[in-house]
Structure 1
Amino acid sequence: MLIYKIVPRGLWSQAEAAGEFGGSPVDLADGFIHFSTADQVGETAARHFAGQHDLLLVAVDTEALGSALRWETSRGGALFPHLYGPLSLQHVSSTIELALDTNGRHRFPDALA
Structure 2
Amino acid sequence: MIYHVVPLAEWNAGRGRPYAPDSLTRDGFVHCSPDEETTLAVVNAFYRGAPRPLVALLLDEDRLTARCVWEAAEPAPPPGVAGGTLFPHVFGPVDRAAVQRVLEVRWDDEGRATGLF
* TM-score over 0.5 for the pair: yes
Q: Which residue of 2 aligns with 1:109?
A: 116
Secondary structure (helix, strand or coil) at the match of 1:28 reads helix
Point out 4+ residue stretches in structure 1 off by more than 4 angstroms.
none
What TM-score, normalized by structure 1, do the two folds share?
0.82
Paired residues of 1:54 and 1:99 also in contact (CA < 8 A): no
Unpaired runs of at least 5, structure 1? none
**Amino acid corresponding to residue 107 of structure 1 in structure 2:** T
Which residue number in structure 1 is paired with residue 80 of structure 2? none
The residue identity in structure 2 corresponding to 1:36 is S
How many residues end up aligned between the 2 structures?
A: 107
| Counterpart Cα distance in 1 of 2:41 and 2:24 | 18
Partner Cα separation in structure 1 for residue 33 and residue 92 of structure 2 = 16
- 1:50 counterpart = 2:48: yes
TM-score (norm 2): 0.79
CA–CA distance in 1 between the matches of 2:53 and 2:28? 25
Q: Which structure 2 segments of 5+ residues have no match? A: 78-82
Q: Does 1:72 align with 2:71?
A: yes
Q: Greater helix percent: which structure?
A: 1
Secondary structure of 2:56's aligned partner: strand
Percent identity over the alignment is 27
- RMSD between aligned alpha carbons? 1.9
Q: CA deviation at 1:104?
A: 1.0
